[in-house]
């Protein structure tokens, strides 16, 4: 995907998140984020929008803590605060120099600007699903190509880091195969190292997850139950992913 496509998706997903939160109310529990209310979700996402915008706008070379808020926005202030920060992030990314040199924390993107546009688009899309889950009713559609890109970011980016907690008692292979895109991943799991994802269907797999890219994307982010997709082979291996793959 192009950077402009990520930014367009970020703009859309942030708007949907705010709309869902407005309909729901700030005190409603979020079933996909146990212990959180919709207000917590909106504050979390809005804080990270501001954090990312600062890194891009100031071309910061290293990680920085989240900016402390003088006080947490609540009540009638919350959604205008969220929309202001979301809009500022979109504008900052659109205005940024394509040659921007700043800190990024995952492999796989062709440039720091592409990284931040991609990361914030997916961050916001997943939390939009959280907001809509709290609201109830059908989820808004998600493009299959974008969902497949999010699977790749998760498997080849987040879980390529040593901090990934996904381990198996012996070497195992998990395959992820969307049925509405030509992407496929083979993920090699072991007791001692982080998962290693390859864009290939070569070789046997102990367990395969298949279904629409959107459902696999949300399943791998633990936003849908395992029975939302087809599971072939060792279902317990899919359970290991569910139990240990949370990103913190």
Condensed to tens digits (0 to 9), the pLDDT of residues 80-102 reads 999 999 999 999 999 999 999 99
**Is 169 a residue whose pLDDT tops 90?**
yes
**Is 243 a residue whose pLDDT tops 80?**
yes
Q: Average pLDDT in the 166-184 region?
A: 97
Whole-angstrom distance, CA of residue 172 vs CA of residue 207: 9
Whole-angstrom distance, CA of residue 53 vs CA of residue 92: 6
Whole-angstrom distance, CA of residue 235 vs CA of residue 221: 17
Closest to 199 in 3D by CA, of 149, 126, 163, 146: 149
- Scored b (16 or more CB within 10 A) or e, 175-196 reads bbbbeebebbbbbbbeeeebbe
Domains and CATH numbers, the chain: 3-135 (1.20.120.450), 164-244 (3.30.1050.10)
- Strand boundaries in the chain, DSSP class E: 172-178, 185-189, 196-198, 207-211, 230-233
Looking at residue 72, its pLDDT comes to 82
What percent of the chain clears pLDDT 90, i.e. is strictly above it? Answer: 94
Q: Do 102 and 56 contact (CB within 8 A), yes or no?
A: yes
**Is 28 a residue whose pLDDT tops 80?**
yes
Closest to 26 in 3D by CA, of 71, 74, 70: 74
**Is 112 a residue whose pLDDT tops 80?**
yes
Q: pTM for this structure?
A: 0.96
């Amino acid at each position: 995907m192009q950077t402009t496509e990520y930014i367009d998706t970020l703009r859309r997903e942030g708007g949907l998140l705010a709309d869902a939160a407005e309909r729901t109310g700030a005190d409603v529990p979020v079933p996909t984020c146990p212990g959180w209310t919709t207000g917590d979700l909106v504050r979390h996402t809005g804080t990270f929008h501001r954090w990312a915008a600062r890194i891009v706008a100031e071309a910061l070379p290293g990680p920085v803590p989240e900016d402390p808020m003088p006080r947490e926005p609540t009540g009638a202030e919350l959604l205008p605060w969220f929309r202001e920060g979301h809009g500022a992030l979109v504008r900052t990314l659109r205005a940024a120099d394509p040659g921007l040199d700043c800190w990024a924390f995952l492999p796989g993107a062709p440039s720091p600007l592409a990284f931040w546009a991609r990361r914030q688009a997916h961050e916001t899309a997943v939390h939009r699903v959280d907001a809509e889950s709290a609201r109830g009713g059908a989820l808004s559609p998600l493009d299959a190509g974008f969902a497949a890109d999010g699977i790749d970011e998760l498997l080849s980016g987040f879980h390529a880091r040593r901090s990934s907690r996904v381990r198996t008692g012996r070497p195992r292979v998990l395959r992820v195969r969307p049925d509405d895109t030509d992407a496929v991943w083979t993920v090699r799991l072991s007791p001692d190292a982080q998962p290693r994802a390859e864009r290939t269907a070569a070789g046997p797999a102990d367990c395969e997850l298949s279904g629409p890219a959107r459902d696999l994307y949300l399943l791998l982010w633990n936003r849908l139950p395992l029975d939302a997709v087809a599971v072939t082979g060792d279902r317990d291996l899919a359970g290991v992913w569910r139990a240990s793959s949370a990103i913190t």
